[in-house]
Amino acid sequence: MTAQVATSSPRRPWGLIAASLVAVALAAIPVVHLVVRVASADPAELAAVFERPRIPMLVGNSVMLAASVTATAIALGVPSAFLLARTRLRWRGFWAVLAALPLAMPSYLAAYGWLAWQPSMKGFWAAWLVLSFVSVPYVTLPVAAALRIGGTGLDDVARTLGRGPLGSFMLGTWPQIRPAVLAGGLLVALYTLSDFGGVALFRFPVLTTAIQQAYSASFSRDEAAVLAVLLVSLALLIVVGEQFARGRAARRIQAAPSAGRRRMTPLGRWAVPAMTLLVLVPVIAVVVPVAVLVSRVLTAETLRAFDPANLASAIGNTVLLSAGGAVVAVALALPIGVLAARHRGRLVRAVESTGYLALGLPGIVVGLSLVFFSLSVVPALYQTALVLAFGYGVLFMPKAIGSIRAATGQVPTSLEDVSRTLGNSRARTWMTVTARLARPGIFAAAMLAAVSAMKELPATLMLRPTGTDTLAVELWQRTDVSAYGAAAPYAVALLLVAAVPAFLLSDARAGREATREAIAPDTQAGREANREVIA
Amino acid sequence: MRAHRGIALATTGLAAALALTGCATDPAAEEGTLTVYIGRDEALVGPLIERFEEESGIDVEARYAATPELAALLLEEGDRTPAQVFLSQDAGALGALADAGLEATIPAELADLIPDGFTSQDDSWIGVTGRARVIAYDGEQLAEADVPDTVDALTGEEWKGEVAFAPGNASFQAFVTALRVLEGEDAAAEWVAGMAANDPELTENNLATLDLVNNGQVQLGLINHYYWYRQAAEVGADNMRAQLKFLPGDPGGIVNVTGAAILKNAADDPEARAFVEFLVSEEAQRYFVEETFEYPLLPGIDAPEGLPALESLVNPGLDLSDLESVGESQRLLADNGLI
């Protein structure tokens, strides 16, 4: 139970540890709620759930989908990031925004659009296609940022010693981006495990669809909780695995100092395949499904009355609620991210991994746990915007942790030491030095939480104030009556609104790169910054 | 200054969230308002709620979500729920809430309006509309005469890979229960095993099942009748590739009901009572007939045009209380790997 201080701080940062524990306790509400429910359930009933012949198949499907989607997102995201950060690409800004765009696309909307066009799509391959392409930015964005900081000096040395282009990349650059790849892959894997909308539309049975069935047919929350505990166990394995792999990667980075020089590769005859890759991802994730839905508006037999005032209020609610959710997510993630960036030890690892777990749970499970929590603790706030924003914070805090950890890690501890020597308190130093320099990263964390909150549906249905509709809720109400035509305006509005934080994320990357280079061209802190960017 | 913008945005968001909270009040505490959880589509039920508000002067706070989510929500909320009335898409959810002791008794003068067999036996909830289980078939590949009159035939080789249904859906499971009651446990077990072995297309819900038939992916789908009418209203009946076959007298053709319950904390609430009374009034029952193509449960109101009479679908051997053994039906489906 000790947090060993790795860097400059001479004492244990009790304040920071306390704040992290509070944050992690709030983030653990869904998991605790599940465990309590399972512990108090009838053991015979629980055993019956495990004895079902279908359970091994469901677990297998969940694992297979998470693994294949993560592998595909990495396989497409790393080359995309390389093109954006290391090649002489024309219209770089345009491509950067395009690469971030799939972040704005909810999986259920992408699946819905594809199905409207190709009704025969179903099962593993359909779910794999849509989830993979929608998830690629989770890898592209942090890896591109890591590539922008790192150098190619070591690659060049390898080249002069006779290695081929790929071999020298693996030797020089790969160790620098590996932590970012792992962090992005972690988010993709957890996102895939917890996704319900996309897999359900393609009729691919996994644990989340079984959880939904437990609620919908047997109205058995115990049965749902057992399945959710199974899901959380898988998430825990993935989180711990990523931490283990990251720990090894960190040691390797220190063994291989990154050289400051960065060579930009001319594309030459690779220009066309490169642009094909950069176009392919947003086309499959966004353009095809949206185009199909919009074309349905034009061909619909009868158009249900479209109410612009209704759309406007849904947009307003979506923006306000997701902004509130982003504030909460960042507030919860800050102590955890700072702790993870500056300190090591078993406690730090435990805090960080617990922070990630909620991301592996479907929204309906998290929503119900927060229903219970808010009714028990703050009944006066139940079904208010505050509780919903808090719910978004708990759900999407994991997406903010990595970005904050990386941004804090990039601030040289020597600057903090100077501030402390000048007599500033630890808190004041953090506010005036660390937070100021890490601000772009904190902003990116907020944007990532906001874009996720805008797309969220199941927890929103549980927690929203009665009568308050978000774009996702309006969209759900229209897809439920098989009305492709009526859904389209809301689908387009959701995409446009969510594209704003996605756009800022692609932009924020470039801004952060400038900050980082200004303060830490080739310091220990600069290498620390390689560890993770958005995750 | 990007960072300043971020902080400004964050502050605005927080302030706005607080402002939104300020607007929210506890509806249960107010006179003249009513909080209803509605497990049906807003597009279909919304206009009816507006009529009720106009006629009664009562403000309705309507919370829309799917029935399973609302049932889970109500179970989690327990007696702390702000809801006074729950309007449910199926009887199973109402039964689960009754089992948890969360429902108040429906006043006898209302409960007696709906004939036995279409409402709860202990008046813990009241039946509002009926939906028939039907076979949806691909009208391009099949004529009505090709479609079996009984679900028993669906385990045959000629339908291998051609039947879609939603095994996790409450109304499908009610049908399996009816099958067990009417044809016996052995026959039902044989049917479920036969279906599981006949390469069925498993879906998440009735609507997805209907879409498969409408797209020609499968030839037959087991659904509730009114999904077809909803879709026909959207795309035009002439454009519907799927057609319906009713199965009078067959377990596969039973009628499921939607219903409403007054929640315990609103047992003596006049607004809650007024709302339930409105749901089984002639006006509301006619609305369901005309707008959602469901069977009215109030005697004296005609069924939607073109549908077989409700009486012809009712199975004399089946009592609604028989359908309570849905747990055993789920075990049967689970053992055969369907759920």
Longest dimension (CA), chain A: 74
Q: How many CB atoms lie within 10 A of CB A210?
A: 26
Instruction: Dump pLDDT digits (tens) for A46-97.
Output: 888 888 888 999 999 999 999 999 999 999 999 999 999 888 888 888 899 9
For A510, name the nearest residue in chain B, comparing CA atoms only: B2
CA separation for the pair B278, B261 (Å, rounded): 13
Q: Which residue has the tokens 């937070």?
A: A435
pLDDT of A9 reads 46
- Pairwise CB contact (< 8 Å): B231 & A511: no
pLDDT > 90? residue B3:
no
Question: How does the average pLDDT of chain B come out, rounded?
Answer: 87
Which phi and psi (to 5°) does residue B221 adopt?
A: -140, 140
* Closest CB from A54, A465, A480 relative to B24: A465
Q: Which two tokens stand for residue B257?
A: 């009901």
CA separation for the pair A22, A14 (Å, rounded): 12
**Would an 8 Å CB–CB cutoff place A53 in contact with chain B?**
yes
Pairing of strands B126-138, B220-224: antiparallel
Is the reported ipTM for this assembly greater than 0.85?
no
Instruction: Give the 3-state secondary structure of residue A258.
Output: coil
Written as one letter, the residue type at A248 is: R
* Closest CB from B2, B18, B72 relative to A215: B72
* Closest CB from A57, A217, A477 relative to B168: A217
pLDDT of A26 reads 92
pLDDT of A482 reads 54
Question: Which residues share a beta bridge with B220?
Answer: B137, B163
Q: Which two tokens stand for residue A246?
A: 């990251």
Chain A nearest CA to B293, separation (Å): 14
* Segment 285-344 of chain A within 8 Å of chain B by CB: 300-302, 304, 320-324, 326-327, 330
pLDDT > 80? residue B46:
yes
* Segment 180-209 of chain B within 8 Å of chain A by CB: 201-204, 207-208
- Pairwise CB contact (< 8 Å): A119 & B61: no
Tell me which of A221-225, B85-89, B126-130, B286-290 is least confident.
Answer: A221-225
Residue A156 CA neighbour count, 13 Å, CB half: 11
Chain centre to alpha carbon of residue A468: 26
Q: Which residue has the tokens 């689970």?
A: B334
- Residues B24/A463, Cβ–Cβ less than 8 Å: no
CA separation for the pair B245, B222 (Å, rounded): 10
**Would an 8 Å CB–CB cutoff place A213 in contact with chain B?**
yes
Chain centre to alpha carbon of residue A23: 18
pLDDT of B217 reads 92
* Segment 143-182 of chain A within 8 Å of chain B by CB: none
Q: Which two tokens stand for residue A125?
A: 């391959």
In the 8-state DSSP scheme, what is residue A87? Answer: B
Mean pLDDT of B195-216: 91
* Closest CB from A322, A446, A466 relative to B61: A466
For domain B131-254+318-335, give the CATH number: 3.40.190.10
Cα angle vertex A145, ends A139, A148, to 5°? 135
The fold adopted by the segment(s) B26-130+256-307 is: D-Maltodextrin-Binding Protein; domain 2 (3.40.190)
**pTM (two decimals):** 0.85
Q: Which residue has the tokens 């074309």?
A: A295
Cα angle vertex A209, ends A203, A210, to 5°? 125
**Which among B1, B7, B20 is the top mutation candidate for probing chain A, defined by the most A β-carbons within 10 Å of its own β-carbon?**
B20
* Closest CB from A205, A213, A446 relative to B10: A446
Which phi and psi (to 5°) does residue A259 adopt?
A: -85, 150
Any residues with CB less than 8 A from the CB of A367 and at least 6 apart, and which?
A: A391, A458, A459, A460, A461, A462, A463
- Pairwise CB contact (< 8 Å): B82 & A466: yes
* Closest CB from B17, B202, B339 relative to A324: B17
Chain centre to alpha carbon of residue A498: 14
CA separation for the pair B224, B133 (Å, rounded): 5
**Which among A42, A212, A219, A503 is the top mutation candidate for probing chain B, defined by the most B β-carbons within 10 Å of its own β-carbon?**
A219
Instruction: Dump pLDDT digits (tens) for B114-144.
Output: 998 888 888 999 999 999 999 999 999 999 9
- Pairwise CB contact (< 8 Å): B35 & A386: no
Give start and end residues of each alpha helix (H) in A118-270.
123-149, 153-160, 165-172, 174-194, 197-201, 207-216, 221-255
- The DSSP element (H or E) to which B136 belongs, if any, is strand B126-138
* Closest CB from B63, B68, B207 relative to A216: B68
Q: Which residue segments constitute the domains of chain A, with CATH numbers given?
A: 4-262+285-529 (1.10.3720.10)
**Which among B1, B5, B12, B14 is the top mutation candidate for probing chain A, defined by the most A β-carbons within 10 Å of its own β-carbon?**
B14
In the 8-state DSSP scheme, what is residue A532? Answer: -
For A121, name the nearest residue in chain B, comparing CA atoms only: B217
* Closest CB from B69, B80, B334 relative to A375: B80
Pairing of strands A343-344, A4-5: antiparallel
CA separation for the pair B295, B288 (Å, rounded): 8
pLDDT of A493 reads 92
Instruction: Dump pLDDT digits (tens) for B149-205.
Output: 999 999 999 999 999 999 988 889 889 988 998 899 999 999 999 999 999 999 888
**Would an 8 Å CB–CB cutoff place B3 in contact with chain A?**
yes
* Segment 86-145 of chain B within 8 Å of chain A by CB: 92-93, 96
Which phi and psi (to 5°) does residue A442 adopt?
A: -65, -40
Chain centre to alpha carbon of residue B128: 11
pLDDT of A1 reads 39
Higher pLDDT among residues A33 and B7, named by residue = A33
Chain A nearest CA to B41, separation (Å): 7
CA separation for the pair A284, A110 (Å, rounded): 9
Cα angle vertex B203, ends A294, B324, to 5°? 130
Percent of chain B with pLDDT over 90: 61
How far is residue A409 from each of residues A250, A414, A527, measured CA to CA in Å?
13, 12, 9
Domains B26-130+256-307 and B131-254+318-335 in one fold: yes
Every domain of chain B and the residues it spans: 26-130+256-307, 131-254+318-335
- Pairwise CB contact (< 8 Å): B335 & A52: yes
Which phi and psi (to 5°) does residue A106 adopt?
A: -70, 145
Written as one letter, the residue type at A20 is: S
CA separation for the pair B135, B133 (Å, rounded): 7
Q: For chain A, 535 residues long, give each residue's pLDDT as a single digit of tens.
A: 344 444 444 567 788 889 999 999 999 999 999 999 999 888 888 888 888 888 999 999 999 999 999 999 999 999 999 999 888 888 888 899 999 999 999 999 999 889 888 888 889 999 999 999 999 999 999 888 888 877 777 888 888 888 888 888 888 888 888 888 998 999 999 999 999 988 988 989 999 999 988 887 767 788 899 999 999 999 999 999 988 887 766 555 444 444 456 777 888 888 888 889 999 999 999 999 999 888 877 766 555 667 888 899 999 999 999 999 999 999 999 999 999 888 888 888 888 888 888 888 888 999 999 999 999 999 999 999 999 999 999 999 999 998 888 888 878 888 888 888 888 888 888 888 888 888 888 998 999 999 999 999 999 999 999 889 999 998 888 775 455 667 788 889 999 999 999 888 885 445 444 444 433 434 444 344 434 333 3
Chain A nearest CA to B163, separation (Å): 15
Percent of chain A with pLDDT over 90: 44
Cα angle vertex B196, ends A364, B338, to 5°? 15
For A58, name the nearest residue in chain B, comparing CA atoms only: B339
Any residues with CB less than 8 A from the CB of A501 and at least 6 apart, and which?
A: A103, A104, A447, A448, A450, A451, A454
